[in-house]
Amino acid sequence: MADLTTHDTGRVNRRQLVKTGTISAAVLLMAALFLIVNCFGFKYYKRFDWTRSHLYSLSPKTKGILGKLTKDVDAVVFLSPQDELYAPLRETLSRYAAISPHVHVRVVDAEKKPVEAQQLVDKYNVKNAGLVLATDKDKRVLDTAELADFDFSGVQFNQKPQMTGFKGEQVITSALLQLSEGRKPKVLFTTGHGELSLDDRGARGLAGAQEVLGRDNFDLSEWASLGQAAVPAGTDLVVIAGPKGSFVQPELDAFAAYLKGGGRLLVLLDPVLGPNPGSGLVSTGLEKWLAAYGVKVDSDIVVDPSNPLPFFGPETIFVNKYGDHPITKPLSQGALPSLVSLVRSVGKLDVPGYNVTTLLETTPAGWGETDLAHLEKVSKDAADLPGPVSLAVAVSQGPPPKPADADSPLPAPKPAANPKGPRLVVVGDSDFADSQLLQANTGNSVLLANIVNWLVEREDLLAIPPKKPEQVHLALTQSEMRGVYLLSLLALPGLAVILGGLVYVKRRR
């Protein structure tokens, strides 16, 4: 009997030992799996952006710059967690840091660590709340006015300013570019022919364009081309913005030699009416010269009655039809329209050696008005250029030209000496780049920045439009609030008590 009891006890002990071992092995296995999953999750992970406006998604431009970043950059946030800008800025910076190990994010909490916060304020010379991006040799200080657009209309009613547009990615990427690049691309704006001025801060000036292009780290200056034998060495881009006078042949020869050597040129041609009625448009000398590069500039003014714009005159056209080109791809994808004012048609010619692509077009209802003597009342007729009308083109080097045809009206230009080839953009309007339309429409800023970046072969830096933050509000009526109150304070606790009582009674039985 004793042996049987001992045998049963041993069997129970072995069973208990096996059970305990199995449980222990399962726990160890689960712990090992937990550690492995966390290790892989820490090293390989995917971030998602569920916001409707993709507020936190980084653009290809930003990813391209971060991929080429070689310097360590400290991103120091000087904002309170209660600030409306804090959450989108912190999340955006975390995505920068996730892509590049050279970006180090640090948040300054003045309430918890006032001494450390004051030291950093003194170190970076911060006067307003915002963000500091710093390397070991340089820094950029960005305040809240640069990081977002705000609506101050409610301030008079003691309401806080409302954030209407988050520009964090724009300015942060621009600052990173300035900190990482050793050289700024040199851009020259011609003068002496009535062109728009960089120093003009009026509605028709280029001060706004200077600010937009300055964010992409361009070195902008003016250059008097008249009397110059050649474009200055080291020039990355020449811009002719809205000339009202004529260029002489030596200037055109200098531009041709510059393009032949792989230069880049941006021409913004306005339809400038002659001094006398019926005299047509003033010739700048560029119209015929551009034909050799496959660009056709007509003597007309484009009208598009199907795309009127409120608060603007009929000369301002709302353009939302774009060609297939890297310059306009972000605009098409983002459904961003552009505004042009008093524009002439700029189309394509078939010239060997050059690829010409339409950038902007009117709707089929638009046309190029050629009767310039009676602009007070225009109507489409057989003499006008039918729509859709091309308003801007981009030119790049194409296949080598064939031997010139004796019957061809245009001589085939010689191939470029630079293997990369020239690049040229011609727009039938300069107003889209002035301060008034840049401020009125985000698409114009994107278009201008994209044109200039494409011309100097910085395709990774195509512009980033501001993103609209989502304003999610839950509005409840008085009866709905009462229902929430009863459900949370009475119904749910009461249900828990009833279920607990039922379980207790059942176990007592």
pLDDT in tens, 98-144: 889 999 998 887 777 888 888 888 888 777 778 888 888 888 888 78
pLDDT of residue 12: 62
Q: How many domains does the chain have?
A: 4
Total Cβ atoms within 10 A of residue 117: 16
pLDDT of residue 417: 46
55 assigned to some structural domain: no
Q: What is the pLDDT along the chain (509 residues), one digit of tens a residue?
A: 555 555 566 666 777 777 787 888 888 888 888 888 777 665 555 555 545 555 557 777 788 888 888 889 999 988 888 888 888 889 889 989 988 999 999 888 777 788 888 888 888 877 777 888 888 888 888 878 778 877 777 666 677 777 777 778 878 887 888 788 767 899 999 999 999 999 998 889 999 999 888 877 789 999 999 999 999 999 999 999 999 999 999 999 999 999 999 999 999 999 998 887 767 899 999 999 999 999 999 999 998 888 766 666 667 888 999 999 999 988 888 788 999 999 999 999 999 999 999 999 999 989 998 888 777 777 788 888 998 999 999 999 887 655 545 455 555 555 444 557 899 999 999 999 999 998 888 889 889 999 999 999 887 666 555 555 544 445 556 777 777 778 877 888 888 888 888 887 877 76
Same domain, 192 and 289: yes
Same domain, 390 and 422: yes
4 assigned to some structural domain: no
- In the chain, helix, strand, coil percent, each to 5? 35, 20, 45
50 assigned to some structural domain: no
For residue 208, the domain's CATH number is: 3.40.50
Reduce the secondary structure of 288-330 to three states and give it as a string.
HHHHCCCEEECCCEEECCCCCCCCCCCCEEEECEECCCCCCHH
- Helix ranges (H only) for 85-200 are 86-99, 114-124, 144-147, 168-180
Taken in order 37, 38, 43, 45, the sign of the CA dihedral is positive
397 assigned to some structural domain: yes
CB 312 within 8 A of CB 255: no
pLDDT of residue 343: 94
Q: Which two tokens stand for residue 101?
A: 């190990």
Q: What burial class does residue 431 get, using C-beta atoms within 10 Å of its C-beta: 0-12 exposed, 13-18 middle, 19+ buried?
A: buried
Same domain, 402 and 362: yes
Same domain, 21 and 95: no
443 assigned to some structural domain: yes
Same domain, 165 and 222: no
What would the DSSP string read from start to end of 391-447? EEEEEEE-SPPPPPPTT-SSPPPPPPSSTT--EEEEES-SGGGSHHHHHH-HHHHHH
436 assigned to some structural domain: yes
CB 83 within 8 A of CB 130: no
* Cβ-Cβ contacts under 8 Å for 85 (sequence gap 6 or more): 79, 144, 147, 148, 163, 166
C-alpha dihedral, 338 to 341 to 344 to 346, nearest 10°: -20
Same domain, 156 and 226: no
pLDDT of residue 313: 66
Among candidate residues 177, 208, 229, the one where a domain is terminated: 177
Same domain, 294 and 431: yes
Same domain, 270 and 409: yes
Same domain, 148 and 261: no
For residue 168, the domain's CATH number is: 3.40.30.10
Same domain, 121 and 191: no
107 assigned to some structural domain: yes
Domain that holds residue 381: 186-457
CB 248 within 8 A of CB 285: yes
The residue among 103, 91, 92 whose CA lies nearest residue 65 is 103
* Cβ-Cβ contacts under 8 Å for 188 (sequence gap 6 or more): 221, 222, 223, 231, 232, 235, 237, 238, 239
465 assigned to some structural domain: no
The single residue listed with the structure tokens 């006078």 is 245
The single residue listed with the structure tokens 């552009």 is 338
pLDDT of residue 11: 65
pLDDT of residue 406: 47
pLDDT of residue 46: 55
242 Rama sector, left if φ>0, alpha if ψ -120 to 50, beta otherwise? left
Same domain, 206 and 118: no
Same domain, 193 and 137: no
Q: From residue 73, give the alpha-carbon distance in Å to each of 121, 126, 176, 319.
A: 17, 17, 8, 39
Task: Find the angle CA(405)-CA(410)-CA(411) to the nearest 5 degrees.
Answer: 65
Among candidate residues 177, 197, 224, the one where a domain is terminated: 177
pLDDT of residue 356: 96
Q: What burial class does residue 97 get, using C-beta atoms within 10 Å of its C-beta: 0-12 exposed, 13-18 middle, 19+ buried?
A: middle
